[in-house]
Every structure is written in structure tokens, then in C-alpha cells.
Amino acid sequence: QVQLVESGGGLVKPGNSLRLSCAGSGLNYYAIGWFSQAPGKEREGIGCISSSGDYKDYKDSVKGRFTISRDNAKNTVALVIDSLKPEDTAVYYCAASSQFYSPNDCDYEEYEYPYWGQGTQVTVSS
């Protein structure tokens, strides 16, 4: 079982960038999904990266601004958000899954991910 710890959240101004990290022992064996929960809304998937790092997928609305990467040697996965908007304000979660058959596959459906971090708050405000 992998334990995930997110970090990097905080209060940021619109237009800035932010890098969130997800760390965990043995993370390199897992596909990682990123999810967000805005105030008063359901949690939703943002994107994912396969365990190999060779495949990534993003929700259409975040393509071009959100970038997921991983460093398997350091057991970390990053989510970089560029050109932050107030509507990006949310708690961001990373989640891990070993359920994908291929190391080059992932998706961002919650049910695929049994292991979750505690979340990190991102607030975008001037």
C-alpha cells in the first residue's frame, strides 16, 4: 500500500504558476491521477500520468495550462498549473493506482484509484 503526500499549495495571484508535488514510497510502480475539488462542488479528475511516465491524459478544459510529470527516481509526481485563474481555487488531490494493465496507461476516473493523499489547498486570489 502506498501513502501519498501532496505539497505545494497556497495562496497565489492570478496569472502566476504553481507546482504541486505528490510523493510516496514506491510511487514509480503506480499510475497517478490528479483531482480537484472546488468549493461547493464535487471532486473531479484533471489528468493522469502512467507509471512509465510515457502516457499522459488531461481533461479538455485544462489542456495547455496543466502539466503532469514524474520523476520515478525520486518517487514524485508534479502538477504544474500555469496562468492560474480564480476558478482554479480548489483542494488538489493526487491518487495512485496499480490497476492499469499497461505501464503506459492511465485515466482520471476516481474509481480507478484506491490510494489517495490528503489534498493540498490552492487559492487563487489577488
* Cell numbers representing residue 93 in the block: 488531490
Model confidence over 43-87: pLDDT tens digits? 999 999 999 999 999 999 999 999 999 999 999 999 999 999 999
pLDDT of 91 higher than 90: yes
What pLDDT, on a 0 to 100 scale, did the predictor assign at position 28? 87
What pLDDT, on a 0 to 100 scale, did the predictor assign at position 94? 98
Model confidence over 1-54: pLDDT tens digits? 889 999 999 999 999 999 999 999 889 899 999 999 999 999 999 999 999 999
Distance between CA 41 and CA 59 in Å, rounded? 17
Q: Report the sign of the C-alpha dihedral through residues 68, 92, 88, 82, in that order.
A: negative
* Cell numbers representing residue 111 in the block: 474509481
* Cell numbers representing residue 64 in the block: 495547455
Q: Specify burial of residue 52 (Cβ count, 10 A radius: 0-12, 13-18, 19+).
A: middle
